[in-house]
Amino acid sequence: MVSLSGSVFFPLTVPDCSSRSRKVTVLDAHNSFCLKKKDRRRVVFRNCIAPPTYLKSNGSPAAVNSIDSFRSEHISPENEDKDESDVLIECRNVYKSFGEKHILRGVNFKIRHGEAVGVIGPSGTGKSTILKIIAGLLSPDKGEVYIRGRKRAGLIDDEELSGIRIGLVFQSAALFDSLTVRQNVGFLLYENSSLSEEQISALVTENLAAVGLKGVEDRLPSELSGGMKKRVALARSIIFDNTRKEVEPEVVLYDEPTAGLDPIASTVVEDLIRSVHIKGEDASGKPGNIASYIVVTHQHSTIRRAVDRLIFLHEGKVVWQGMTHEFTTSTNPIVQQFASGSLDGPIKY
């Protein structure tokens, strides 16, 4: 596993590398990053870095699974009668264990085009694990992930074709400490596009403006506050090569994007997540580009402000799902205990 300045992973939006192997520039002996395109050293590795998920839609939606592992007390958006053509991501009966720990035990859910979905549940229940499986960083032991109807059983493969982009924004922001904000935000365009440095620099500035940051391009991550780092990470997840003819829909996976932020900084990040969505408008007044997103969070404010639908994971399964406003009125004892923070109830610590 390659660790870059303490950041094991980095967010993965790579707009245009469908024909390239998964590669990453490594730091040189002085721990400095080389942006020269010609002589950079590269190493290919599979698990340490979130690769771009580019899967070609085969045009035929996946067959509908008639068995879901949950019962919503409401008419669920997962209603089997619903048209399947807008399903971007489906987890079907996904299992994952780490040694003796059986974390995911048959997870089923779908994410449709345009959705803003929260994944919640007790600590250690596998929320981050399911994001990594969707991103192709981890393979399920059993079950499948369908991306626009195309089955992916294992890790994402270098040969997979374009059709969707999946960005993963890690909880820690995971910026490269020795790189400037510009280099961090433009990292994958420097690596994987044929854009000139000037073009990338202009895109970086544009995407930083979209998340409300100006004039920070030359700063190092250590010169930013925690909230600013999260915004830089967000800019890095939404940047794409806008000179391409076809731009696939993008799904962004946010792993606890507001963890550790004060309430106001959390609101800023929650609103940013909304603003880069296709139903939102970014700081520069443009509609967002993100087709759908999934937010793993423990924060009530993020649940209220940043998502429309919730998926509740407990003991490796989806035990409830419904619209955000249904969460607090749910009669499901697991949901009630979680919403109230009570020690009494079916969730044992």
Ligand X SMILES: Nc1ncnc2c1ncn2[C@@H]1O[C@H](COP(=O)(O)OP(=O)(O)OP(=O)(O)O)[C@@H](O)[C@H]1O
Residues 311 and 49: their CA atoms lie apart, in Å, by: 26
Longest dimension (CA), the chain: 61
Residues 31 and 109: their CA atoms lie apart, in Å, by: 42
Token pair of 21 as six digits: 């192997």
Task: Give, as ranges, the residues between 255 and 274 that touch ligand X (CB under 6 A).
Answer: none
Q: Are 155 and 46 in contact (CB under 8 A)?
A: yes
Q: Helices (DSSP H) in the chain: which residue ranges?
A: 127-135, 181-185, 187-192, 197-210, 226-238, 263-275, 300-306, 324-327, 333-340
Compute the least distance from the CB of residue 120 to ligand X, in Å: 9
Q: In terms of CB distance, is 86 or 141 closer to ligand X?
A: 141
Site string for ligand X, 100-119 (x = CB under 6 A): -x-x----------------
When asked if residue 98 is in the footprint of ligand X (CB under 6 A), the reply is yes
Task: Give, as ranges, the residues between 38 and 97 that touch ligand X (CB under 6 A).
Answer: none
Return the DSSP state at 188: H
Query: Where in 58-115 does DSSP place strands (E)?
Result: 87-98, 101-112
Q: In terms of CB distance, is 17 or 138 closer to ligand X?
A: 138
Choosing from 72, 129, 180, 292, the residue that interacts with ligand X (CB under 6 A) is: 129
CB neighbour list of residue 199: distance below 8 Å, 6 or more residues apart: 243
Choosing from 1, 66, 75, 123, the residue that interacts with ligand X (CB under 6 A) is: 123
Burial of 283 (0-12, 13-18, 19+ CB in 10 A): middle
Total residue count of the chain as it appears in this document: 349
Q: In terms of CB distance, is 10 or 190 closer to ligand X?
A: 10
Q: In terms of CB distance, is 103 or 276 closer to ligand X?
A: 103
Choosing from 72, 125, 258, 289, the residue that interacts with ligand X (CB under 6 A) is: 125
Of 128, 134, 127, residue with least CA distance to 152? 134
Compute the least distance from the CB of residue 129 to ligand X, in Å: 3
Compute the least distance from the CB of residue 348 to ligand X, in Å: 15
Compute the least distance from the CB of residue 299 to ligand X, in Å: 11
How big is the site for ligand X, counted in residues (CB under 6 A)? 10
Compute the least distance from the CB of residue 104 to ligand X, in Å: 8
When asked if residue 297 is in the footprint of ligand X (CB under 6 A), the reply is no
User: Which stretch, 2-10, 28-36, 77-85, 121-129, contacts ligand X (CB under 6 A)?
Assistant: 121-129
Three-state DSSP class for residue 97: strand
Q: In terms of CB distance, is 129 or 330 closer to ligand X?
A: 129
Strand 250-255 with 42-43, pairing = unpaired
Q: In terms of CB distance, is 143 or 149 closer to ligand X?
A: 143
Residues 218 and 288: their CA atoms lie apart, in Å, by: 25
Q: In terms of CB distance, is 129 or 332 closer to ligand X?
A: 129
Choosing from 18, 53, 57, 128, the residue that interacts with ligand X (CB under 6 A) is: 128
When asked if residue 124 is in the footprint of ligand X (CB under 6 A), the reply is yes
Compute the least distance from the CB of residue 128 to ligand X, in Å: 3
Q: Are 140 and 133 in contact (CB under 8 A)?
A: yes
Three-state DSSP class for residue 233: helix
Residues binding ligand X (CB under 6 A): 98, 101, 103, 123-129
